[in-house]
Structure 1
Amino acid sequence: MPTPGAPATLGVPKSADVPTAGHHAAAQAATVENLLRCWVREAGPDAPDDGDLHIPLPASGTALAVPVRYRSPTGHHRFGLPRLAGAPASAPPVDAVTLAALLARESSGDPGPDGIDLVARVADSVRRTAVFLRDREASADGGSPAEAGTDLFLAAEQALLLGHPLHPTPKSREGLTEAEARRYSPELRGSFPLHWVAVAPSLLATDSAWTERGRRVTAPDLTARLAADGPAPPDGYALLPLHPWQFRALRHRPATAALLDAGLLRDLGARGAPWHPTSSLRTVHRSGAPAMLKLSLALHITNSRRENLRKELHRGVEVHRLLRGGLSRQWQAVHPDFDIVRDPAWLAVDGPDGGPVRGLDVVVRHNPFRPSDDVSCVAGLVAPRPHARVDGSGGPEDTDAGAPRS
């Protein structure tokens, strides 16, 4: 498999990797529904209880007729595929890319660069969703995760195949090659070793409220434990784990390049046991490890680059201290099964001027889940389950409520 950042190679993919017409149809239908939900929420046309929702498109001199299959009081409406008003019955319904272009034009009368970017991300999201559906179908073994000996928490995190129901491009991954997408996507059950950097003590910024038997454990001690099967740092340096894609991007930023050239950061490479991306992509999990890692990732995931802010690092430790100070005991006395996943430690890099170096950081998240714990990611639990027919006729009518197949 190519290394992160290696040029994508062109070739004929294996047939199991090629989405069928049915997978494309299911991906199109899901994306169209997302776009319509967003438009109804943002632009204000109220979805009727039944019949068609009519969406005027004055900038394009036409309108859409959208079948309403279910009107939700919370905005999670179910729609059929829209058609252009007045189009002959033989005309195909409007696909996701066309719908995105039409709606973007309505926002300003001219799609402009933002509209063009939206259309491109919609196309990317549709294409990747179809790949995810095909891969999940091809890899199904007919058994449950428990029967297969799978980490049930990880299986739940990897089950969100369609993404956020109120986002127009929930599965866009701009910046990833096909090989990288296969390694870094939870929907494809990817895994990868972390990229490790050694940080000189003069640059190290860190805090920890992680305790064991009443004793505080520092963030560098925690990352050193997690790297037990990976690299050893030079004397006095701390180990900072990074997402491999993030390191590839960071090493070209002037601030990071200068620190590497000065030897204040040392590149130790991608090494160690594989970690698995969870539903957020940037938080990674390794079965049996005491901690998960919330990594910075400058990819455009949905519509923003997910790099940790220093205030977020501080906030996680502060919340943990607050909960440990007695608040969690108070609520658990009333609700013993309720708790909050904690972010009790972090490690980051400050530049020579004392300011944070963006993107060089990690949150150490407590992992309370054993592999046998039967837990669910709520977003995946309530997500529609897409069904792609062999004849390519997958659509909203072929989508049942329930957790996606895992």
Structure 2
Amino acid sequence: MTSGRIQAISDVAAALLSAEVEIGSAFARQWWRDNQDTGELESETHSARDVVQRCAHSLMADVIADVDISDLSGPGQRFAEAGLSATTVLDWFRGLESTITDFVLGLDEIDLHIVRQTHSRVSAFFDASSSSELQNFENTFDELGTWYSAVANDMVAYLTSGAAVDEGSVNRQSRKLGLDPRLPYRAIAIRADSGISAHRWALIRHRLVTVVTRLNSQPNPLVQERKGLLLALISPATSNAELVQMLESLLDDPELKRTLYVGTGETVDCLADAGRSCRQALSALEIGMFREQQGKVTQCTDVILEVLLTHNHWVSHRLIDSRLGPLVGKPNIIETLRAYIDCNMSLQRTAEEIFVHPNTVAYRLRQITKLTGRDMRNVSDLADLSVALAALDVIKMYGNTGAESTNLHSAILAGADARID
């Protein structure tokens, strides 16, 4: 490049520097009018002026790579923090590049060759700058994702722990996460069969989070996760029937139907009360697992008695002792009683259900009456025995299976900080 052209480009750079306040402020005002969700006008102006200055210096550098853009005050970090897309970063840079190009074209007595060379150097600068800011955007986005996940985990653990909840702390923390704590919330607990590989769980988890996010009326659900176990808190965007239908549609997949158990809690009035729904969902999930109900949604309202008994083992033991007594050690008798109740007191259907002769059913029912004093034709007596059977299930669920597969409340809290600041 001749000394004359170098001087001409330096003159363009000097003109750009002298007009950086005007150019940066005008661009920032226009951008802010059209994109007010990207931040404050002052921040936009500061970023735009800094980029204009760096662009002017790049015109005077021997090569664009000599221009330091490591501490550029671009919008990448701000846009990531505002939850905007990477495309917005590119739009911002291309918009400012166009503004600077228009300024150069408007200069008096500028040679066409100088315009071309200036435009080439401006384009090269903006290519490098936008790439750098996209990296800043990505780094900030990743950091925010890690932070959000950690804070969401602590929030769910805090609510689920059963400790007294400070509503003020919940409200403050939820607003940091962009959540409205005054909305209704509901918990969904999902468990995969034991032995699932980490890779397979990662694939299933992605599908689960996608569905849970669709069910949520807010941008992100609160999720607490352990390998093979996921507990999500959502503010329902649909009715209960639609929510259950969407979960069941997910379970229509043959592989997921064989692999997943799902439990749901009741909808509560606000986030501070959501711990109750979390504990209900985990209890419903445990009951579904105990009953081997893969591929089904177990709602806590459908197993409300078992859920209540899950949280009061003393009552469960008393019900078993006072209602079932000596039947507990007789598995065939217990099986017959369950089937008889499920089959609406029909001897024939009960016999078909457990593959025995109707006379065998009749004999066992007489044994039940003899041992418990309960009339097998009396609805009230059968209701009492049904409650006792539910209590027996709860005790067996915790006593006869490993903690890894049933004590989901402990599993979801393992390693979590059940406190929030």
Structure with the larger strand share = 1
Larger radius of gyration: 2
Q: Say which structure, 1 or 2, has more relative contact order (CA 8 Å, 6+ apart).
A: 1
Structure with the larger helix share = 2
